[in-house]
Amino acid sequence: MIVGQSLVMQKLRADVIRIGATNFTVLVEGESGVGKELVARALHDVSPRHRGPFVAVNCAALVETLLEAELFGIEERTATGVRGRRGKFELAEGGTLVLAEVADLSVAAQAKLLRVLQDMRVERVGGHSIRAVNTRVVAATNRRLADQMQTKRFREDLYYRLSGVELCVPPLRLRRDDIPLLSRHLLERHRQAQQMELGTAALDALMAFDWPGNVRQLERVLERAIALGPGSVVDVSDLPSIVTKGYRDLVEDLPTGSESLRTWSSRYVRGVLRRCDGNKRKACDVLDISYHTLRSHLSFARGATHGDVQTP
Ligand SMILES: Nc1ncnc2c1ncn2[C@@H]1O[C@H](COP(=O)(O)OP(=O)(O)OP(=O)(O)O)[C@@H](O)[C@H]1O
Ligand SMILES: [Mg+2]
């Protein structure tokens, strides 16, 4: 189940249903841990092939010499002691084959893959016969394949073969409104006997973090909180410091109660501006305010430093 209430995820779910019904090769792009394999799985589940096998292979984990045998199979006694086996293409017969980290294939392997995709026929290593395969291929990558192609690390013809239909899974930091729902879903998935809840402050901290490792990182953080936390409510103190640092900086910067909202927000605006290296446009983007509002905060701050607006 692809969880997420953000507009991009709603659109992605609709795309999966639409594209899943077809037989097109799909390219799923997105940073590490965003849920590319989950999307591939969803494409399979909604497709007419859903009763067939779902086979995923990580191209980055394959040693060049074993790659061909792994993908296309190998005949018995090709070399001394070699046992014959089917490759992933054959194993995914009637179903879906996910080629994860497809950008990591060597250029030689890319050529072999292209040939198979063009003909939908495979020849096992050491074999003499060619078998037709009926497999739907979903390729996934955390690098932009178009860039890889431009720098000649990825074959242009294979790129066009794979990217007929592209789905992009955005990083979690660009869809923060998914964090509450995702966190509850992941807590439910990983909880032990007792039900788990997320404390308000813990949720604030999760929302403030940038999640370079995306949903997988969120999942690990919550698993850890479940395992190590004392109760049924996840608290900020159950989260690793790397996650809570930004949140704590913000909270510890909070007024002690003697400051007006205007004074505090003006101070906060200046803090953000400093973090943006003085770039006012960038600060406006981060704060989601107009240039005019930013200037009014800054001129207020100048007044405040002259001592005329401090509240007792
Ligand atoms: N939208 C989502 N809803 C529910 N679970 C999600 C979602 N996105 C990701 N996950 C979960 O996060 C984890 C990582 O997802 P997945 O393996 O699909 O990511 P990936 O993009 O393939 O990662 P990698 O780049 O490392 O291969 C999985 O446990 C997956 O179930
Ligand atoms: Mg993956």
Q: How far is the CA of 38 from the centre of ligand 1 (A)?
A: 6
pLDDT tens sequence for the chain (312 residues) = 999 999 999 999 999 999 999 999 999 999 999 999 999 999 999 999 999 999 999 999 888 878 889 999 998 877 777 788 899 999 999 999 999 999 999 888 899 999 999 999 999 988 888 999 999 999 999 999 999 999 999 999 999 999 989 999 999 999 999 999 999 999 999 988 888 999 998 999 999 999 999 999 999 999 999 998 878 999 999 999 999 988 887 777 666 667 788 888 888 898 889 888 899 999 999 899 999 999 999 988 777 655 433 333
Identify whether 1 is part of a domain: no
Identify whether 217 is part of a domain: yes
Sheet holding 136-141, edge to edge: 54-58, 96-100, 136-141, 26-29, 165-168
**74 and 97 part of one domain:** yes
Identify whether 2 is part of a domain: no
Nearest-10 crossing angle of helices 179-190, 200-208:
120
CATH code of the domain covering residue 163: 3.40.50.300
Give the three-state DSSP class for 146. helix
**242 and 289 part of one domain:** no
**13 and 74 part of one domain:** yes
**41 and 144 part of one domain:** yes
**236 and 282 part of one domain:** no
**91 and 147 part of one domain:** yes
Does any ligand 1 atom lie closer than 6 A to the CB of residue 2? yes
Distance of CA 62 to the CA centre of its chain: 22
Identify whether 310 is part of a domain: no
**183 and 286 part of one domain:** no
Candidates 172, 180, 150, 143; CA nearest to 35 is 172
Ligand closest to the CA atom of residue 42? 1
Does any ligand 1 atom lie closer than 6 A to the CB of residue 30? yes
Does any ligand 1 atom lie closer than 6 A to the CB of residue 37? yes
Q: Which pLDDT score is estimated for 10?
A: 97
Q: Which pLDDT score is estimated for 310?
A: 37
Indicate the residue among 170, 197, 216 that finishes a domain: 170
- According to DSSP, the β-strands at 85-86 and 73-74 are antiparallel
Q: Which pLDDT score is estimated for 266?
A: 86
Q: Which pLDDT score is estimated for 274?
A: 87
User: Ligand 2 (ion): which residues have CB within 5 A?
Assistant: 37, 100
**225 and 292 part of one domain:** no
Report the nearest atom of ligand 1 relative to the CA of 31.
Answer: 25
Indicate the residue among 170, 186, 219 that finishes a domain: 170
Ligand 1 pocket mutation pick from 1, 7, 37 by most atoms within 8 angstroms of CB: 37
Q: Which pLDDT score is estimated for 178?
A: 96
Candidates 42, 72, 83; CA nearest to 133 is 72
**89 and 68 part of one domain:** yes
Report the nearest atom of ligand 1 relative to the CA of 185.
Answer: 4
Domain containing residue 67: 7-170
Does any ligand 1 atom lie closer than 6 A to the CB of residue 91? no
Query: What is the tally of structural domains in the chain?
Result: 3
Q: How far is the CA of 274 from the centre of ligand 2 (A)?
A: 37
Does any ligand 1 atom lie closer than 6 A to the CB of residue 38? yes
Q: Which pLDDT score is estimated for 255?
A: 63
Does any ligand 1 atom lie closer than 6 A to the CB of residue 56? no
Mention every residue, 6+ apart, whose C-beta is less than 8 A from residue 285: none
d(CA 39, CA 100): 12
Does any ligand 1 atom lie closer than 6 A to the CB of residue 203? no
CATH code of the domain covering residue 224: 1.10.8.60
Identify whether 88 is part of a domain: yes
Identify whether 179 is part of a domain: yes
Identify whether 225 is part of a domain: yes
**265 and 236 part of one domain:** no
**165 and 178 part of one domain:** no
Identify whether 42 is part of a domain: yes
**178 and 153 part of one domain:** no
CA distances from 43 to 117, 134, 229, 235 (A): 19, 16, 36, 36
Ligand 1 pocket mutation pick from 215, 217, 219, 221 by most atoms within 8 angstroms of CB: 215
User: What is the dihedral sign for C-alpha 20, 25, 27, 28?
Assistant: positive
Indicate the residue among 170, 199, 226 that finishes a domain: 170
